[in-house]
Amino acid sequence: MTRATAAIGRRTMPPLGERLSMVFSDSVTIAKRNVIKIKRVPDVLIFSTLSPIMFVLLFAYIFGSAIAVPGMSGGYREFLIAGIFAQSVVFGATFTGLGLAEDMQKGIIDRFRSLPMAPSAVLVGRTLSDVVINVVSLIVMSLTGLLVGWRIRGSFLDAVLAYILLLLFAYAVSWIMAVVGLLVRAPEVFNNASFMVIFPLTFLANTFVPLENLPTVLRVFAEWNPVSAVTQATRELFGNTSPMAPQSDAWSMRHPEVTTLGWVVIILLVFIPLALRQYKRTVSR
């Protein structure tokens, strides 16, 4: 590259502030597009809200009679709800990968590539729009939980922080799903691939059973499982813990809020660059 060409490149390169503004505005546009798509295809929103209701009712009335949590006024149902919240927002994060897989299959990604827009806006807008699904899902689950006997026994501020932690964690997981969605060739493949990751993470955790009930090897894995951290943090902030229950000695379970934020930062630092790189590879095929 000659000095003249380099000088031209420097003159035509927009300043950093303008580039960030373009990424932000394009991301908002893509997010609006995805939200409008949900509105026009209400089946997605309906089934994403029916699933949490089904989980709450099934686990509350089936496991509720088989698992005892001593010292908790609401019994197993109060223990359960935080785990259901964590599982449901992780499942809600899969809409990012599924949406990207569908857009690639239908050629919509190629249309985005032909537009004068920031390439990263496709991924940022996709992940931001899926926060809406998780917000609706949390509202529905909270109302269902109240109907089956769950109560928030902590302060209002703690409850707000619990919901924020859940949404932050779901947003981080959505970037993992974005990488998976860009790697697969079809939405059907994404469903199978994502479930292979989600099911072990959500079930080998403290979501549905206390950690002391697990075998030693599984208990150690569950104690450092990010889903266990966000579940325990949510439980404590909602005030759904029992002083009579055995306490884990793992640092992650004694400081679940810090552990959850740490996992969020690690996931975002690792998977945002991976998703952006995979997106460039995908659109250049």
The pLDDT of residue 24: 76
Count of domains observed in the chain: 1
Nearest to 278 by CA among 157, 182, 144, 139: 182
Apex CA 91: angle with CA 187 and CA 118, to 5°?
A: 60
Would you say residue 3 lies in a domain? no
Would residue 10 count as lying in a domain?
A: no
Residue 8 lies in a domain: no
Which portions of the chain are predicted below pLDDT 50? 1-11
Helix crossing, 156-183 with 187-203: angle to 10°?
A: 140
Instruction: Name the token pair of 85.
Output: 């919240």
**Range of the structural domain that residue 262 is part of:** 50-283
Tell me if 141 is assigned to some domain.
yes
Query: Is 109 domain-assigned?
Result: yes
pTM: 0.86
Provide the CB-side half-sphere exposure for 29 (13 A, CA). 15
Helical H segments across the chain, by residue range: 3-12, 16-40, 42-62, 76-106, 108-113, 120-148, 156-183, 187-203, 216-223, 226-238, 251-254, 256-283
What pLDDT, on a 0 to 100 scale, did the predictor assign at position 3? 45
pLDDT at 267: 96
pLDDT at position 274 is 94
Give yes or no for a contact between 222 and 82, defined as CB atoms under 8 angstroms apart.
no
Q: Which residues contact 1 (CB under 8 A, 6 or more apart)?
A: 9
Please report the pLDDT score of residue 7 as a whole number: 42
Tell me, rounded to whole angstroms, the distance of Cα 153 from its chain centroid: 25
Q: Is residue 39 part of a domain?
A: no
Has residue 11 been placed in a domain?
Answer: no
Give the CA distances from residue 221 to residues 201, 216, 231, 250, in Å, rounded to whole numbers and listed in that order.
10, 9, 15, 11
- Tell me the angle at which helices 256-283 and 226-238 cross, rounded to the nearest 10 degrees: 130
Dist. CA 193–CA 188, nearest whole Å: 9
Residue 45 located in a structural domain = no
| Cβ–Cβ < 8 Å for 29, 126 | no
